[in-house]
Amino acid sequence: MDTKFNKKINLLTLVGVFVVTALVISACVAPGPVEPTGDPIEKAMQTLQAQATQDYYSTLVSQLTVQPTSELPLATPNPTNINDIPVNTQVPSVVVTQVVTSIPTAAVIPTNIPPTPTPRPCYQVTFVSDLSVPDGTKIVAGTSFTKTWRLQNSGTCKWDTGFDLVFVSGNQLGANSVYDFPKDVAPGGTVDISIEMVAPMTTGNYTSNWMLFSNNGIQFGTGSDSKGPFWAKIQVTDGKGVAYSFAQSACDAKWSSGSKGTLSCPGDEKKPDDGYVVTKNKPIREDGGTENEIGLITRPNNASNGYIQGIYPAFQIKDGDKFRAALQCEGGSTSCKLKFELNVREVGGNFVELGEWHEVFDGMWTTVEVDLSAYDGKKVEFSLVTWNDGSTTNNKGLWLNPMIFRTK
């Protein structure tokens, strides 16, 4: 019995080893279709083998399945047989297509068409400047003065000596009504026209309007329509104050130098060799300050005995009249060394010196006042002279607000 029992035990042990060995071998061999048997032990082994195989492939599928993303959705296969699951080991590439968002703009066709220029008239005047007696000049009642305009021929036709200067409106200021034209002027050229005038005896503001008259009977002036006048505007005072301004009337004078018989007025500061004269409304004083009174700048020619002289039109003196000025070197003329000279003569006579004053660049100036009562009732001409006084370099003299001041 023991022998039979032992044999049975050995048989069961052998079966167990066989089952374990079969399980191990089945794990290493690709699964195939399992043939059903009627043996319970075999059925148990088949069930265990199928379950192990199912777990193995489930794990493998979970490891190989790529989870879909929101940007690149992937279709998930639904196989009926686990062996039919395709495994894709390639990483899908993303193709980026550039989208052109700029929209070509249409070519812009310029719409600014230059206007058609207005044709210039045959006869037209452009006022350039007042060379003497600018608008608003104060003049003592009854005083004579010279008015000078600089005009440009801005038309297309030539002006000639057959033309006239004509008074058209306002106050005639003691002048004639018609004056002969001084010279021919081509289109684009300029001409200086001077006439003698007299301030009225009554104080106030006065305007005298003038135009030109062609040799074929056409009256013309300034403006686009050539119908505007040019004028003289003065303020007549009661006799006290500034009776005559040598600076404002600078270009009424005849200017010359030691090297040139006649100088233009105003002169050219960039060409000092022959000397020049200019006026400045806000000249720079010798001490570097800016003056608010008009100044007359006189520069002698470049020579040790160089000079510049201006002879003014005749002026009638009254008792109590005085010549006044502040004499100095113009600011910046650091090597300046000059002599200023004032002369007077009765019309047709010889010049008499009324005074001379020496100036160097030292930050100081000389205030001058000369009594003219000895010439009461007489018409006299004044001469203002500036001399080089030992130096010829940058000698620029400043006559600050030179005038005849009327005290009575």
pLDDT in tens, 97-114: 444 444 555 555 656 676
Reported confidence tier of residue 239, pLDDT bands at 50, 70, 90: low
Tell whether 71 is covered by a domain.
Answer: no
Which of 238, 270, 294 terminates a domain? The answer is 238
For residue 87, the model assigns a pLDDT of 47
For residue 58, the model assigns a pLDDT of 56
Overall number of domains in the chain? 2
Tell whether 43 is covered by a domain.
Answer: no
Clarify whether residues 149 and 293 are in a common domain: no
Contact present, 330 and 283 (Cβ < 8 Å): yes
**48 or 119: which carries more pLDDT confidence?**
119
Stated as kind and residue range, the H or E segment containing 28 is helix 2-28
CATH number at residue 275: 2.60.120.200
Residue 10's identity, in one-letter code, is N
Clarify whether residues 180 and 311 are in a common domain: no
Which of 217, 238, 259 terminates a domain? The answer is 238
For residue 119, the model assigns a pLDDT of 86
Gap between the Cα atoms of 280 and 298, Å rounded: 11
Clarify whether residues 177 and 269 are in a common domain: no
Which of 99-108, 226-235, 391-400 has the lowest average pLDDT?
A: 99-108
Clarify whether residues 234 and 325 are in a common domain: no
Clarify whether residues 260 and 393 are in a common domain: yes
For residue 169, the model assigns a pLDDT of 97
Q: Which two three-digit tokens encode residue 180? A: 């002969």
Tell whether 355 is covered by a domain.
Answer: yes
Tell whether 78 is covered by a domain.
Answer: no
Range of the domain at 398: 245-406
- Choose among 268, 280, 349: nearest CA to 311: 349
Which of 203, 238, 273 terminates a domain? The answer is 238
Tell whether 5 is covered by a domain.
Answer: no
Tell whether 15 is covered by a domain.
Answer: no
Clarify whether residues 284 and 350 are in a common domain: yes
Clarify whether residues 290 and 380 are in a common domain: yes
* Whole-number percent of the chain with pLDDT over 90: 61
For residue 201, the model assigns a pLDDT of 81
Gap between the Cα atoms of 187 and 397, Å rounded: 38
Q: Mean pLDDT throughout 272-283? A: 95
Q: Is the pLDDT of residue 12 over 80?
A: no
